């Protein structure tokens, strides 16, 4: 069953990096996907930890930028699709915790919608990008360093 995974991971490093980038990008979108498994598989196949960290962080960060853009440009549609009380609650939450909540954009389930809300509420994009990139890079850094430490 896992033979195809081993074959896939042993392909060209550039194909492996591209696949990780795309999966990390999609995992940060509102689609229910994950990319950590591929990162760990590629690490187990001897791919460069530094490159894997960089590629996964970049793909995942850009996926969050897509969410921000969707929220930014579809503000009225998104607000209209939500119950008024629910939307006001989300706005109050974001007003309370602000842009700094983007450091938690890496969290499963809540992180991706958080980035959409940041777009809808027109959060400062430069700060959004910086905070999301820090959070995503830290998450993948923990995975890579953990793997290197334990499996080393």
Instruction: Return the pLDDT at 7.
Output: 66
Supply the DSSP symbol for 82: S
Task: Give me the helices (H) in 13-74, please.
Answer: 13-28, 36-44, 49-73
Give the distance, in angstroms, between the CA of residue 30 and the centroid of all CA atoms in the same chain: 10
pLDDT digits (tens, 9 = 90+) for 104-117: 899 888 888 889 88
Instruction: Return the pLDDT at 87.
Output: 62
In the chain, pLDDT over 90 holds for what percent of residues? 59
Say how many domains are in the chain: 1
Q: Which domain holds residue 87?
A: 3-151
Q: Could you please report the per-residue DSSP string of 110-141?
A: THHHHHHHHHHTT--HHHHHHHHHHHHHHHHH
What is the pTM (predicted TM-score) of this model?
A: 0.84
In sequence order, which residues have a C-beta less than 8 Å from that of residue 12 and are 6 or more positions away? none
Name the 3-class secondary structure at 53: helix
pLDDT band at 9 (very low <50, low <70, confident <90, very high): low
pLDDT digits (tens, 9 = 90+) for 54-93: 999 999 999 999 999 999 998 777 666 655 666 666 667 6
């Amino acid at each position: 069953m896992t033979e195809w995974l081993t074959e896939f991971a042993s392909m060209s490093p550039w194909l492996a990096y591209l696949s990780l980038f795309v999966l990390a990008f999609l995992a940060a979108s509102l689609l229910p996907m994950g990319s950590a498994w591929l990162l760990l598989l590629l690490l187990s196949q001897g791919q460069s930890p530094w490159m894997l960290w960089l590629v996964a962080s970049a793909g995942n960060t850009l996926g969050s930028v897509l969410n921000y853009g969707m929220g930014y440009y579809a503000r009225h549609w998104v607000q209209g699709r939500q119950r008024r009380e629910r939307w006001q609650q989300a706005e109050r939450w974001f007003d309370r915790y602000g842009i700094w909540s983007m450091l938690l954009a890496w969290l499963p389930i809540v992180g991706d919608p958080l980035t959409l809300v940041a777009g809808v509420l027109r959060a400062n994009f430069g700060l959004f990008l910086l905070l999301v990139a820090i959070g995503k890079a830290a998450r993948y850094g923990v995975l890579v360093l953990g793997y290197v430490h334990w499996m080393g």
